[in-house]
Chains A and B, each alone.
Chain A
Amino acid sequence: MNRMLLVEDDEFACSALRELFEENGWQVVVAENGIEAMRHMTQISFEVIVTDVFMPEMDGVELVRQIRLTDKTQKILAISGGGAGMGSDKAVDIIEAIGADAALQKPLRNEELLLAVDRLTAA
């Protein structure tokens, strides 16, 4: 079974996305922020990481930066709702520049999200 790490601090978004991916054949491990995600990554390997951008403690930008220090091939999809003083487009640009393989703006329809994950894992 394909294993995915879902990093999302919003409780409702996290549970809905988890359900969506599990319904579509993914084994989903959930992390609330970058620190928790890094902890999971030391124990398990994941085919893809889907991460939010704005999160407390360690945000998605820092998470991607940390991962890329040691792993250049890990598939990473960033999804951002935008943040105070920063439009979503800008957040998406930044995280792609840092090293995410793809970045999309929330909210996303299921087909958009699943297609992005499929493309990433097929590549």
Chain B
Amino acid sequence: MKPPSKTTTPQTNTENAPEPRDGESGWYLYGVTLRQTASEVITNQAMDTGEPLLVLEQGKLAAIVRPVRLAEFSAEALQARAQDLVWLEAMVREQNQIVARVHEAGAVLPVKFGSIYSNSEALQAALAAIHDALLAQLQRLQDCDEWGVRLFANRQAMQRLAAEHPALQRHKDELAAASPGRAYLLKRKLADELAAITEEALSHLAQASYARLMRYAVAGQASPRPQKAADGADEREALHATFLVQRANVDGFLEEAQHLAVEQEGLRCAYSGPWPPYSFARLAGEETL
């Protein structure tokens, strides 16, 4: 019989696992997965990646961890290092690679960057406290990938979208019927309102596109504030969204994304994926953290 929780590697048994007890090392947590998935990942891990990944088991769950020196992650050290883009990029790329590897083997709940525990008991207690919720979340994410979709409109497309907007049509009708003096005032008013009308037209486009993509997705979330265009940029981001898509539906989803851009002149769609479900891992009620 296995003990309910233990640290495993292919080479070391529980007793020899480098359990950090000296107050100097801790566990860097990458993600939570099912025990079976974890053992698959650990068994297949390449031997040339520095410190090996380890598994801390708790009930049906397994945490993918790596021992780290706590001094490297002290508040002072991090404050200094957070400014160091090279270090930060290496860290996030490495973390993403590890999480992606687990994701390839099975469902994974990625954890927030920089989740470090001073000892295994603390981590296991944290897992035990919400064991069933984590398990249910893993089941929900089974066979799903995250996809990022961004839709851009160039200046011509924005002008066309604004022109099709009912508000602009009304302005035009008014303008056609106006006296020269009133037409002058109306033109100035229109110039003031054009930006707002364009924003509204873009937001309609985003909502419609999002709804179409959602038909192929389990869940989705759109960024409330798509990236503002840089000064002089020729295109605007209309939609910046992430979707949770079942693998069986990926082809349809990507085809739909492609259609969004092809159907209308001046639109461009960029997608990224398949990602581990970073944006959909949080448990209900945890959004504010």
Partners in one complex: no
- The chain B residues found within 8 Å of chain A, CB to CB, are none
